[in-house]
Chain A
Amino acid sequence: MSVQRSTLIFAWILLLPAVLYVTVIVAYPLVDTFILSFTDASLKKTTNWVGWVNYEKIFNATFAEVIMRTFVWTFFSVSIKMIIGVFGASMLNAAVPGRALFRVLTMPPWIVPMAIGIFMWGWMYNGQFGMISGLLQRFGFIDGPVAFLAQGSTAFWATIITDVWIGVPLVTLYMLAAMQSIPQDLYEAAWTDGAGRFYRFRRITLPLLIPSLITMSMLSLIATFNSFDIIWILTRGGPSGETTTMIIDTYHTAIGSKKYGEGAARAVLICIFLSIFCLAYFRVTSRLSSGDNR
């Protein structure tokens, strides 16, 4: 056996556990869900092949609204997380006394178990006992209690704020790490030339942060698009479906109404969108790394 051949076999042996893992845990269920999406699977003991019917059903006016809402929800949530994250990282990167303490204080939303954090926000949004309504009443901004999860418009933003609260620490820490990797001598040179704080941020920090910003945005986009817990615990997609995103709608259909075939079609659609995001992410990161190599 040639050395080259034995090296190849050895490489495949090393890869085998990962290949098996991906096949069993990821590939097979995905393929199976794809097949399921072309059937009328439900509680019945037999299923019929129904072709594209499940896909035709989901492209009605209501689901189009759900898709649009998912994109809007994701857009605002990711954008706000990125803006606050970059701002927070800049603050934490500044040479101020007690910086280490502030860094620690950014962590709780990330450390607290997600469900507990969401329930806490649920109580804060409560009109009768909630802190937000109470404070607004005390300072005279509102006359009586306001339940923020009662109306579609406020509930939609309430779920975004909660998602931002949970997601910001990760973005902040990632951006802080990126900022700390920027060579200090660039700032010193700019400072010597009389560049102000904002100018240094605009002309040094921001351009050098762009690769990290893109990477983080993409990762955050994927996680946010697929976010289930926050909306489910706070509103279950209500009131009147005004916080129902694709993942909530899929759960209602597949698990609630036990229409597994229809639910699978919705899940496939989510997979397609997420795959597009992933492709974009890999493309951008590969471009960035090839740029680094030049």
Chain B
Amino acid sequence: MTIHFKPGHLTTGLFALALLGSTALGAMTAQAADQEISWIYCGDKIDPIHEKYIKEWEGKNAGWKIVPEVVGWEQCQDKATTLAVAGTPVGMAYVGSRTLKEFAQNDLIIPVPMTEEEKKSYYPNIVDTVTFEDNQWGVPIAFSTKALYWNKDLFKAAGLDPEAPPKTWAEEIAIAKQIKEKTGTAGYGLPAKTFDNTMHQFMHWVYTNNGKVIDGDKIVIDSPEVLAALQAYKDITPYSVEGATAYEQNEIRAIFLDGKVGMIQAGSGAAARLKDTKINWGVAALPLGPSAKGEGTLLITDSLAIFKGTGVEEKAAEFAKYITSTDIQHEYELQGGAGLTPLRPGALVDEFVAKEPYWKPFIDGIAYGGPEPLFTDYKGFQNAVIEMVQSVVTGKAEPADALKKAAADLEQYK
């Protein structure tokens, strides 16, 4: 039997669930008024660059108003989703690109196709992060990549060349071992907490070994490339920060900022923080696995998704493209300290990298980088990968077995 969707019915059910789960689904009253484009904006405040260009766009488009609503990162995604499911979608929302597939499959958002020229304006592989069934479903607005940071003083104390970061996984594991054995300090910071970035960190290893998790609709995680990544995780664990499953990426970064770990994978935001410490640090491209074709990293983008059923879809898409157009986007990304990697190349980016050379590895890794895998049940996929990683780093499973189990589990989430 098919029940036609009743917004009120589901909304109330969700409300009860929310009470039990202590989540916030309370604010369900936001509605797009005529000539208004509501925008769920993730963060603590609207970026001044965006504020400036919202005003400029409104000036050029008389009768239209952008109505941003600032929502904290933790609730941002849930709020946009809940409003859409309850039948009161916002005009536009800032979402992780990983969720675009499930939004698209459930007919909640409209495609925002890119012209060939628009596609070419981005760094390679960026457009893949918003593409599903040959169509683009969001407009990228934020981007992050990772590189390897190392503590030169710890390298020196361990008898290593402080100016020679590892280039391969084998070197990275050997260096981590030497640091641990010679200094007693952890050689590597491996985050494996029950947290989304545990999966992200593992994906950096997958993409630096030419691996993949899903190809179209086929789960391909059980491959020699991914197995090598998982084996490397097992091999580096003894020389990593004790109790990997207690730490997420930012907690590991805090340990690095305290000088208590030799190497970590982190975004450009770590560099801004390191400048305020006495740590003698360096940053290089992520080390490569045996099957790598070149420097890689996980490409994480956030996008502006245009929700269906608001009556302002066309104008919202137009605004999304405007606010992410090359010049505005560069101005937004290159403010420094925000930890955003530029989405597109350009003279401004070259100038920025020349001034701040530590940015280079974050951009070089894009060439062989890969997107967050798009799954119908993204959280299911994420949890399966976290479970796989945790079972290996805690010694509960061998990499091959853990990988087979994860491959089987992922079938239900694709």
Interface string of A178-219 (1 = CB under 8 A from B): 000000000000000000000000000000000000000000
Query: Which one of A71-79, A161-169, A258-266 contacts B?
Result: A258-266
Please report which residues of chain A, range 214-237, place their CB below 8 angstroms from some CB of chain B when the two chains form the complex.
226, 228-229, 232, 235-237
In the assembled complex, A247 has its CB within 8 A of some CB on chain B: yes
A60 at the interface (CB under 8 A from B): no
Query: Which B residues, 253 to 287, have Cβ-Cβ distances below 8 Å to chain A?
Result: 254-255, 258, 260
Name the distance in Å between B116's Cβ and chain A's nearest Cβ. 31
With A128-B258, A241-B387 as given contacts, are A147 and B17 in contact (CB-CB < 8 Å)? no
CB of B115 closer than 8 Å to a CB of A:
no
Report which residue of B21, B245, B258 has the largest number of chain A beta carbons within 10 angstroms of its beta carbon.
B21
Binds B, one of A4-12, A41-49, A103-111, A281-289: A41-49
Nearest-Cβ distance from residue B13 to partner chain A, whole angstroms: 4
- Bound CA–CA A39/B13 (angstroms): 11
Q: In terms of DSSP, what is the predominant structure of the interface of chain B?
A: helix
Contact across chains for B22 and A229 when beta carbons are under 8 A apart: yes
Contact of A33 among B16, B84, B245, B254 (CB under 8 A): B16
Q: Report chain B residues within 8 Å CB of A47.
A: 2-3, 5, 10
Question: Is there contact, CB below 8 Å, between B5 and A46?
Answer: yes
**Taking CB as reference atom, which chain B residue is nearest A45?**
B5
Min CB gap A141→B, angstroms = 15
- Which of chain B's residues have a CB closer than 8 A to the CB of A259? 377
Closest chain-B Cβ to A277's Cβ sits at a distance in Å of 15
Report A180 CB to chain B, min CB distance, Å. Answer: 35
Residue of B194, B387, B391 ringed by the most chain A CB atoms within 10 A: B194
B17 close to A43 (CB less than 8 A): no
A127, A145, A239, A254: the one contacting B194 at CB < 8 Å is A239
In the assembly, what is the distance between CA of A235 and CA of B10, in Å? 30
Is the CB–CB distance between A150 and B245 below 8 Å?
yes
Bound-state CA distance A33–B21 (Å) is 13
Contact B3 A39 (CB under 8 A): yes
Beta-carbon contacts of B369-400 to A below 8 Å, as 1s and 0s?
Answer: 00000000101100100110011001010000
Interface assignment of A129: CB less than 8 Å from any CB of chain B: yes
Chain A nearest CB, measured from B76 CB (Å): 13
Residue A132 at the B interface, CB < 8 A?
Answer: no
| Interface 0/1 of B15-44, CB less than 8 Å to A | 111111111000000000000000000000
How far in angstroms is the closest Cβ of chain B from A12?
A: 26
Contacts of B192 in A (CB 8 A): 239
Q: Are B14's CB and A260's CB within 8 A?
A: yes
Assess whether B243 is in contact with A151, with CB atoms less than 8 Å apart: yes
Residues on A with C-beta less than 8 A from B353 are none
CB pair A240–B106 under 8 Å, yes or no, is no
Residues of B within 8 A of A128 (CB): 241, 255, 258, 260
- Chain A residues with Cβ below 8 Å from B9 are 32, 35-36
Residue on A nearest B251 in the bound complex, by CB: A126
With A and B bound together, what is the CA distance between A146 and B244 in angstroms?
Answer: 11
Query: Considering the chains assembled together, what is the distance between the CA atoms of A33 and B9 in angstroms?
Result: 9
B20 close to A151 (CB less than 8 A): no
**Pick from B2, B13, B84, B194: contact of A46, CB under 8 Å:** B2
A239 close to B242 (CB less than 8 A): no
Docked pose: A125 CA to B258 CA in angstroms: 17
Residues A41 and B13 in contact in the complex (CB < 8 Å), given A151-B243, A240-B390: yes
Whether A43 contacts B21 by the Cβ 8 Å rule is: no
Quick check: B243 and A146 within 8 Å, CB to CB? yes
Cβ of A92 within 8 Å of any chain B Cβ, yes or no, is: no
- Contact partner of A35 (CB less than 8 A), chosen from B13, B255, B383, is B13
A54 at the B interface (CB under 8 A): no
Q: Would you give 19 A-B contacts (Cβ < 8 Å), ordered by A?
A: A35-B9, A36-B13, A43-B102, A43-B106, A45-B5, A45-B106, A46-B5, A47-B2, A47-B3, A48-B1, A126-B251, A127-B241, A147-B245, A147-B246, A151-B243, A238-B195, A241-B387, A260-B17, A260-B85
Query: Besides the contacts A46-B4, A127-B246, A240-B387, what 6 more A-B pairs have beta carbons closer than 8 Å?
Result: A129-B255, A147-B243, A147-B245, A239-B192, A255-B17, A263-B21
